Amino acid sequence: MTRFFAKRLKSASGLFVAALLVVGALPAAADVAIQKVTSDKGITAWLVEDYSVPIVAISFSFSGGNTQDPPGKEGLSELMTGLFDEGAGDLDSEGFQVKLDEAGAEMRFGAGRDTIYGSMRMLAEKTDDALGLLQLAVEKPRFDAAPVDRIRSQMVAGIVASAKDPDTEAQVKWAEALYGVHPYARPDEGTEKSLATITSDDLRAYHKAVFARDTLKVAVVGAIDAETLKRKLDELFGDLPAQSKLRSVTDVDLKLDQEIRVDYDLSQTSLQLAYPGVSRDAPDFFAAYLMNHILGGGTFTSRLFDEVREKRGLAYSVSSSLVTNKYSSGLVISTGTRSDRAPETLKVVRDVVRRMAEEGPTEAELAAAKKYVIGSYALNNLDSSTAIAATLLSLQEQDLGIDYMQRREALIDAVTLEQVKAAGRKLLVAEPAVLVVGPAFKESNG
């Protein structure tokens, strides 16, 4: 339900775009040499030096996100992240974007549920110019009235267009049903009404409260050395406030054992089931992760894929995933099927879940899951400088430690079959929340 708001990407030339697509051989996780770099002002970053391509990628984040939108001003964080290349310092919107083009850099900002993200990718020879612009965007965004109104109008247009989609109504009801009055229940992009109340002063106040050094995480990959990075960190972030001023947000358990129906006369019915989850720092996280992979996380090898698609042809795709937000966690199963076969599909899904909860996986399934989860990590997370930077940032946000990549394989290998079975019993015995979008039907119990 979190939507990443990305502005158009800027590049100086076709040669730059081509260079960005060049990557070397995929590194093994154990081969990624991560340095911890701390600037004179105490700003810390994780750095991977790589001179194989003359590119530098930086990713950073601040605690905040959609949960920090004040009541009645939902969409504030989404609107703000669409405005950082719309003028900063003494540069108005047009002037800033011209300079960004000249620097040959790509700059992105986005709002998650609990985090504000930023990133930049640039040619090494243009680092000074590009990071100078990023510094202005981070420290001195203008939030001029004309760009604010334009980006707001774009967001409202998207909300109005989405309102015609039954899935949009369904996701609103689903969030409200699962989270109640918690901020996670609110639409990330806000509403027409809430966006209309947001002023430039609101944006400045939010920026001042969230953009602070105490929650800052930074990852850098590319053709830059540690001493240069130290100076750049202080230039980029050194003048931000030392302490953020975040609103208090409490943990929330998913409200399960309920059915949410959105009745539409459609040929396709969408189904979602929500079960309890496990936090990322829980001792049994990897046991739950492997169990979920066997259940529905493995695209073409999972039990749900085999039973729902391969054996019965009920759906083109079916999957399960662990959702680990800061204040809540869950396991969610999603699929879509022909409306006249929705009762059968829902019954098959429930049967697969029940068998996993009661019996757990086999030794062979667990061995295959471990092999895939270990082997796919580099492919999914380390295939470019940008991907590596994003991965390093995520490891910091989850407090997994700078040596996590070296420890990860052993952590997974150590998981026993009984631990995975226990994870299945823990998460899948509960009666789930069920979302049905499509024609009304009576669930089959036979």
pLDDT value at 300 more than 90: no
**265-280 mean pLDDT:** 96
- CB-facing half-sphere around the CA of 215: CA atoms within 13 A: 18
Token pair, residue 272, equals 């979602």
Instruction: Tell me the C-alpha distance between 377 and 375, whole Å.
Output: 6
Instruction: Tell me the C-alpha distance between 338 and 117, whole Å.
Output: 38
pLDDT value at 126 more than 80: yes
Instruction: Tell me the C-alpha distance between 438 and 4, whole Å.
Output: 27
Residue 419: per-residue pLDDT: 98
pLDDT value at 278 more than 80: yes
Cross-sheet strand order for the sheet of 35-38:
35-38, 44-49, 217-222, 55-63, 115-123, 106-111
| Confidence band, pLDDT 50/70/90 cuts, at residue 32 | confident
Q: What is the pLDDT of residues 38-49, one digit of tens each?
A: 999 999 999 999
Residue 216: per-residue pLDDT: 98
Residue 29: per-residue pLDDT: 61
| Confidence band, pLDDT 50/70/90 cuts, at residue 2 | very low
Instruction: Tell me the C-alpha distance between 408 and 199, whole Å.
Output: 46
CATH topology of domain 14-237: Cytochrome Bc1 Complex; Chain A, domain 1 (3.30.830)
Residue 445: per-residue pLDDT: 62
**320-334 mean pLDDT:** 97
Q: What is the pLDDT of residues 240-261, one digit of tens each?
A: 999 999 999 999 999 999 999 9
CATH topology of domain 258-438: Cytochrome Bc1 Complex; Chain A, domain 1 (3.30.830)
- Residue predicted with more confidence, 334 or 380: 334
**275-304 mean pLDDT:** 96
Residue 6: per-residue pLDDT: 35
Q: Token match 């394989």: residue?
A: 409
Least confident residue range of 13-17, 90-94, 277-281: 13-17
pLDDT value at 30 more than 70: no
pLDDT value at 17 more than 60: no
Q: What is the DSSP string of 346-381?
A: HHHHHHHHHHHHHH---HHHHHHHHHHHHHTHHHHH
Instruction: Tell me the C-alpha distance between 77 and 188, whole Å.
Output: 8
Residue 383: per-residue pLDDT: 85
What DSSP state is assigned to residue 272?
E
Instruction: Tell me the C-alpha distance between 9 and 110, whole Å.
Output: 13
Nearest-CA neighbor of 63 among 252, 243, 184? 243
Mean pLDDT of the chain: 92
Taking the CB of residue 267, how many other CB atoms lie within 10 A of it?
A: 9
What is the percent of the chain with per-residue pLDDT over 90, rounded to a whole number?
88
Least confident residue range of 12-26, 132-146, 378-392: 12-26
Residue 28: per-residue pLDDT: 62
What is the pTM assigned to this prediction?
A: 0.91
- Residue predicted with more confidence, 299 or 74: 74
Token pair, residue 12, equals 């100086």
Residues 6+ apart with CB under 8 A from 73: 190, 194, 197, 198, 202
Token pair, residue 331, equals 């396991």
Is residue 345 classed exposed, middle or buried when 0-12, 13-18 and 19+ CB atoms within 10 A define those classes? buried
Query: Are 226 and 36 within 8 A, CB to CB?
Result: no
pLDDT value at 414 more than 80: yes
**430-446 mean pLDDT:** 87
Least confident residue range of 27-36, 57-66, 113-122: 27-36
Is residue 185 classed exposed, middle or buried when 0-12, 13-18 and 19+ CB atoms within 10 A define those classes? middle
Instruction: Tell me the C-alpha distance between 361 and 306, whole Å.
Output: 14
Q: Which residues pair with 55 in a beta bridge?
A: 123
Domain with CATH 3.30.830.10 in the chain: 14-237, 258-438
Residue 9: per-residue pLDDT: 37
What is the percent of the chain with per-residue pLDDT over 70, rounded to a whole number?
93
Nearest-CA neighbor of 183 among 326, 397, 5, 394? 326
Instruction: Tell me the C-alpha distance between 97 and 142, whole Å.
Output: 13
CA R_g for the chain:
23
Torsion sign across C-alpha atoms 349, 352, 355, 359:
negative
Taking the CB of residue 425, how many other CB atoms lie within 10 A of it?
A: 14
